[in-house]
Chain A
Amino acid sequence: MTEKDLVIIGGGPAGLAAAIGAWEDGIRDMVVLEREKQAGGILRQCIHNGFGLHRFGEELTGPEYAQRDIDRAKELGIPIQCNTTVLSVTEEKVVTCVSAEKGLEIIHARAIILAMGCRERPRGALGTPGTRCAGIYTAGTAQKFVNLEGFMPGKRVVILGSGDIGLIMARRMTLQGAKVLACVELMPFSSGLNRNIVQCLQDFDIPLYLSHTVTNVEGRERLTGVTVSEVGPDRKPIPGTEIHFDCDTLLLSVGLIPENELSRTAKVELSPVTSGAVVNDLLETSVPGIFSCGNVLHVHDLVDFVSEESFKAGHAAADLILHGAKRSDTIRVLDGEGVRGTVPQMIRRGSADEVRLMFRPAGVYKNASAVVMCGDREVARKRAMIFTPGEMAVLPIPGNKVAELDGDITVKMEVKA
């Protein structure tokens, strides 16, 4: 068993930013473990532009955004060990990993940062009826085929779900010569950005069927067609509304789930709402010395916010390694009316550091405010013309207000009368 100050699991945007943050604070005895052959994570296959507007003030493509962090990590000398799969992490902070080059390695770390990202909900999680034929992929898998491997998974495509990756793939498949017949969304609204609805569907006259879902999948070996039906307010199919599409490919873009298998082996407490770890304002989990950041903590919309959060986790881990644990009593952050999945879920009592609460509104709120209450006292407020579930809201609590907190706080939506 080898000893290390810091082990970072995952070399995507979260892991890279966390590593850079910790290095800048003086940590040298560290390693980033990445299971793919290159660092960069999912950004490597996101060849479209629109990344980095907040952080760099310009619109980069995914590979360009990733390269900036990879270059910085290289310049600093941060060791990134690729082709390495982590098998388990324990509460005692023992990381077991395996690679073709080094075989089995067991590393005892003083601190660990979990940065494994998220994965797509697969078909099995949907309960779609019909046959189990080839030609059904998650949108991200298709994206990998087209953008990294250079081949097309099909010619006539239906997309189920209108998440951003599905919309991006509708355009991508069309530009590469496929016919995208329809994008089908169960909900009466799309969870994708307006920009993607306009530039990925409308620009190519691809119809978006809201309040519809796939009710049959046909084909013996390869997919030959799908049936799409309208759903009622109860989200149940309405008989007689069936539309049939002849297609050889069905892409799924039906949500992302933080990938927390390793957090579980470490007995990190998980939130049933975010499916990520429960953390305090330092992004430290219920297991002392184990931190979590990026999409493994909660699914973000923008990589810029993943980087911001992960730098913070890197700084916090460095502080713990250099100055020892500073755990204290915590107050809880609770979801109030119209608010889901606020992160962090805990704030250290007596801290005077600014806390940036992130959450998703439960519905669409126009001319509304997100408000933080401590008992009857208002602690912070953010007004906006619109809050939607498709866009994570950020609500900062200034340090002086954090210092005054004397009990649990609640985040809620308030609509102007």
Chain B
Amino acid sequence: MTEKVITCINCPMGCRMTVQMEGKEILKITGNTCKRGETYARQECTEPMRMVTAVVPVEGSRMPVSVKTRTPIPKARIQACMKALSGVRLTLPIHEKDVVLPDVCGTGVDVIATRTLMA
């Protein structure tokens, strides 16, 4: 049996939760004060998800354009996502919500622009 300690991020309480696991199976969650904590701990122990935001260079522009994954992607894929983004060069004009990199690293999630940059 293994134990994982997780800090809840749902509110300023920041409950320290202990999750007892047997392999990938969750046996017991303790230390949470509310239901949201349990849901979060369960997600963190099975498949933690994160939004990724970054900037991407634009040809002919001194200013890069800011981008984000449309929805959170698995935490384990963050570095791969950054690596994939490091190869991207955009051209003007760029509009907010334009797809910058479709289906990043096979996550099924698009990376989209979060700002407009005109020529």
Contacts and interface: CB of A to CB of B under 8 A. Distances in A.
Contact of A203 (B53, B63, B66, B75): B75
B51 interface: yes
Interface stretch (A253-261, A279-287, A383-391, A408-416): A383-391
B9 A61 contact: no
Given A175-B82, A194-B11, 10 more contacts: A47-B66, A61-B53, A63-B96, A64-B114, A148-B64, A150-B64, A194-B12, A199-B9, A203-B50, A203-B75
Interface in B32-89: 33, 50-55, 57, 62-64, 66, 68, 75, 78, 82
A149 B62 contact: yes
B57 A150 contact: yes
Interface of A: 44, 47-49, 59, 61, 63-64, 67, 146-150, 175-176, 193-195, 197-199, 202-203, 385-386, 388, 390-391
8 contacts: A47-B53, A47-B54, A49-B51, A63-B115, A67-B96, A150-B55, A193-B9, A194-B14
A386 B9 contact: no
B29 interface: no
B8 interface: yes
B68 A150 contact: no
A401 B40 CA distance: 40
Contacts of B11: 194, 385-386
Nearest to A66: B115
B12 A386 contact: yes
A175 B77 CA distance: 12
Contact of B66 (A63, A176, A385): A63
Contact of A194 (B7, B78, B82): B7
Contacts of B78: 175, 203
Contacts of A202: 7
B1 interface: no
B13 interface: yes
B82 A63 contact: no
A49 B9 contact: no
B2 to A, nearest CB: 17
A59 B52 CA distance: 13
A63 B75 contact: no
Given A47-B114, A64-B115, A194 B8 contact: yes
Nearest to A59: B51
Contacts of B51: 48-49, 59
B63 A198 contact: no
A64 B68 CA distance: 11
Given A47-B66, A194-B14, A385-B33, A147 B55 contact: yes
B12 A149 contact: no
B104 to A, nearest CB: 14
Nearest to B56: A150
Interface string B85-100: 0000000000010000
